[in-house]
Amino acid sequence: MSPDPPPSGGKVLHASDHATVIWGDCRDPDVIASVPNGYGLLCTDPPYGVNYRSKFGGNFDRFAGDDGSVDWPAVLGEWVGADGTSRGLRTDRHVYVFGYRSEQLAGPLRLGSTAELVWDKAQPGMGNLSLPWGPSHETITFGTHTKSPSDRARGNGRLSARLRKGSVLRAPRKSRSSAGHPTGKPVSLLQQLIESSTMRGDLVVDPCAGSGSTLVAAVLEGRRAFGVEIDRTYAELAVRRVQDAERIADQMEKC
């Protein structure tokens, strides 16, 4: 992790018609307040609380907030907004959260309906090397954010994605060294999620942006993106990747 903590309220490293990238702490109330209200999708890969430190594929340090001391579902609950308000994620819009189960997220994120997806990485990871089976999948919780408590109690919410697909999504993971981040997600996987749950022009938000894969996928899919990353090195990498995606998107618009 970069040794420099982000400033209070965060610092905008990049802002365009396509995307905003902020170097900041997503737990900072001022950073949370900076996200436009009524956005269209929350898609994020928060730390899992497993004190991850890579021993393979590069010199990656431990993540901030990955020591189990941060209640990440509660943090994300602040990003979606409280009951009966227009703040945060629009009601009846979707969330995708990597690494957490639906029962961990339904309450804090005020989800009326949920489903668990499986990301098939197409190759085993390291995992526990003493076991004969290497992990080759990851859980993604999909849910519909519903601001009405009574609707949530009835399990209401427009659960259907715009394009109905199977619950197993196959996308080869990148190596840690090529991704520039130890838990970087393939852009192709995130494009599938974004395409299924948003329309062109919608704003996709990632409070734990890492190296910016969600933001890149959003830009390439003709959506707008808003991301926050606490590590300046990764935030600057996200800016470079987003700028590359913006150039591609601009060329596509001209065709």
Mean pLDDT computed over 111-137? 81
Say whether pLDDT at 144 is over 90: yes
Domain that holds residue 34: 11-254
Tally the domains of the chain.
Answer: 1
Say whether pLDDT at 190 is over 50: yes
Give 113 or 224, the one with higher predicted confidence: 224
Of 180, 206, 207, nearest in space to 193 by CA: 206
With respect to residue 179, please indicate whether it lies within any of the assigned structural domains.
yes
- The pLDDT, as a whole number, for residue 156 is 64
Rounded to whole angstroms, the Cα distance separating 246 from 169 reads: 26
With respect to residue 203, please indicate whether it lies within any of the assigned structural domains.
yes
Say whether pLDDT at 99 is over 50: yes
With respect to residue 3, please indicate whether it lies within any of the assigned structural domains.
no
Say whether pLDDT at 160 is over 90: no
Which residues are CB-contacts of 59 (< 8 A; sequence separation ≥ 6)?
A: none
Say whether pLDDT at 109 is over 90: yes
Give 86 or 248, the one with higher predicted confidence: 248
Give pLDDT tens digits for 211-231: 999 999 999 999 999 999 999
Q: What is the number of other CB atoms lying within 10 angstroms of the CB of residue 220?
A: 21
With respect to residue 241, please indicate whether it lies within any of the assigned structural domains.
yes
Look at the alpha carbons of 161, 89, 143, 137 in this order and tell me if their dihedral is positive or negative: positive
Give pLDDT tens digits for 62-87: 455 455 679 999 999 999 998 878 89
With respect to residue 2, please indicate whether it lies within any of the assigned structural domains.
no
Instruction: Tell me the two tokens of residue 196.
Output: 């299924």
With respect to residue 4, please indicate whether it lies within any of the assigned structural domains.
no
- The pLDDT, as a whole number, for residue 81 is 94
Tell me the longest C-alpha to C-alpha distance in the chain: 53
Say whether pLDDT at 159 is over 80: no
Give me the chain's average pLDDT, please.
86
Give 123 or 146, the one with higher predicted confidence: 146
What is the CATH number for 73?
3.40.50.150
Lowest mean pLDDT among 22-26, 73-77, 101-105, 181-185: 181-185
Rounded to whole angstroms, the Cα distance separating 101 from 105 reads: 7
